[in-house]
Amino acid sequence: MKLVPQPKIWWNGRLVPWEQAQVHVLSHALHYASSVFEGIRAYATPRGPAVFCLDAHVTRLLHSCRIVRLPLRFSHADLCTAIRDTIAANGQDACYIRPLVFRGYGALGVFPDECPVDVAIATFPWQKKDEAALLERGIDAGVSSWRRMAPDTLPAMAKCAGNYVNSALAVGEARDRGFHEAVVLDVDGFVSEGSGQNLFLVQGGRLMTPPVGSSILAGVTRACVLQIAADLGVPVVEQRLPREMLYIADEAFFTGTVAEVTPIRSVDGLVVGAGARGPVTKRLQERFFAIARGQHDDRHGWLAPVRGA
């Protein structure tokens, strides 16, 4: 997705012009990946732009900071206000939101304590190519030869930059092989997740997804889909999934802030179910979009309106 400059970026407590949000080339994070971030969306709703699961995303950002020991000087409430202010300043109806916390310029060496902790929030439009078709037709995935990090190597539950070296290797290999996306296995060979998405399977009317112990990021969209499944009376099991489950599932889909609810139509060249969005995926996807777009009762309080909060 090519970036198009927007008017403002929130930078350590104030809104600055987009092009002024710059870092020095010797900033710690560029060398040692000492950064954590979030990916959030605001949807256009009848009440104006609304941030989807703002509270859960900001909470995860604070958890990521804690896990990788980045002392953050802004509170949960500060960051929620900053996100709303940035969207309002950029005049967006719908956008992608990228908060970033990182070790900046000051000293070099792996141990970063002398470097400041800088915070930025950018908001910009995110239009997926062939979005409507992908959401209906689905994508082709391939199991990666790269494994997800073992639990005692890197913290999969933190959304930290270093983890995305693993993601980039997996999705790069998948593209080279002609797939849209990778399915990555955990260190024990069980299904973990995609490069930037959680994974669900449907078999015999039951929804299945790997647990947090399978080296996944605890996705905010994943939690919403689990809640929607409960609301719709779809039985759910969170359990380790052997790779071959991918080949015999009736339906499969990815979830994520960017992926939303994207059907998987094949894995390793084997067609999943009927080779397009299945009926359970469709129900979950429709309810997800209806809530996100403010067209269905927001009974779990997932929408945070930008104006008049």
Ligand X SMILES: Cc1ncc(COP(=O)(O)O)c(C=O)c1O
Region near ligand X per CB under 6 A, out of 15-23, 118-126, 202-210, 214-222 = 214-222
Q: Residue 219 or 294: which CB sits closer to ligand X?
A: 219
- Span near ligand X by CB under 6 A; candidates 9-17, 100-108, 250-258, 276-284: 250-258
Complex with ligand X: residue 60 or 277, whichever CB lies closer: 60
Q: How far is the CB of 197 from ligand X (least distance, A)?
A: 5
> Should residue 193 be labelled a site residue for ligand X when binding is judged by CB under 6 A?
yes
Q: For ligand X, which residue of 138, 155, 196, 263 counts as binding (CB under 6 A)? A: 196
- Each residue 123-162 as x (binds ligand X by CB under 6 A) or -, in order, gives ----------------------------------------
**In the complex with ligand X, which residue's Cβ is closer, 84 or 222?**
222
Applying CB under 6 A, among 15, 217, 267, 291 the residue interacting with ligand X is: 217
**In degrees, to the nearest 5, what angle opens at C-alpha 126 toward C-alphas 307 and 121?**
55
Question: Taking CA 18 as the corner, what is the angle to CA 101 and CA 171, rounded to the nearest 5 degrees?
Answer: 55
Residue 84 touches ligand X, criterion: CB under 6 A: no
Are 220 and 276 within 8 A, CB to CB?
Answer: no
Between 147 and 275, CB nearer to ligand X = 147
DSSP of 230-287:
HHHT--EEE---BTTHHHH-SEEEEEETTTEEEEEEEETTEEPTTSS--HHHHHHHHH
Binder of ligand X out of 45, 198, 209, 285 (CB under 6 A): 198
Residue with Cβ nearer ligand X (18 or 126): 126
- Applying the rule CB under 6 A, the residues between 256 and 275 that interact with ligand X are 256-257
Q: Tell whether residue 222 is a contact of ligand X (CB under 6 A).
A: yes
The answer to whether 257 touches 224, Cβ cutoff 8 Å, is: no
Q: Is 128 a catalytic residue?
A: no
Burial class of residue 124 in the structure, from the number of CB atoms within 10 Å of its CB (0-12 exposed, 13-18 middle, 19+ buried)? middle
Q: Nearest-CA neighbor of 159 among 133, 196, 192?
A: 196
The rounded distance, in Å, linking the Cα atoms of 303 and 87 is: 14
Nearer to ligand X, 160 or 202 (CB): 160
Measured from the CB of residue 94, what is the shortest distance to ligand X in angstroms? Answer: 16
- Which residues on adjacent β-strands are paired with residue 250? none
Distance set, CA 156 to CA 68, 70, 103, 215, 262 (Å):
11, 16, 20, 5, 22
Query: Does 39 help bind ligand X (rule: CB under 6 A)?
Result: yes
**Residues 62 and 89: beta-carbon distance below 8 Å:** no
Nearer to ligand X, 15 or 121 (CB): 121
Rounded to a whole number of angstroms, the minimum distance from the CB of residue 53 to ligand X is 8
To the nearest whole angstrom, how small is the minimum distance from the Cβ of residue 98 to ligand X?
A: 11
The answer to whether residue 220 forms part of the interface with ligand X (CB under 6 A) is yes
Q: Establish if 197 lies at the interface with ligand X (CB under 6 A).
A: yes
User: What angle in degrees, to the nearest 10, is found between the helix axes of 279-292 and 220-232?
Assistant: 110
**Token digits of residue 215:** 């080296």
Rounded-to-integer distance, Cα 147 and Cα 170, Å:
8
| Residues contacting ligand X: total by CB under 6 A | 14
Angstrom CA distances, 37 to 142, 153, 159, 160, stand at 27, 19, 6, 6
Alpha-carbon radius of gyration of the chain: 19
Regarding 214 and contact with ligand X (CB under 6 A), the answer is no
**What is the binding site for ligand X (CB under 6 A)?**
39, 167, 193, 196-198, 217, 219-222, 255-257
For the annotated catalytic residues, the residue numbers are: 159
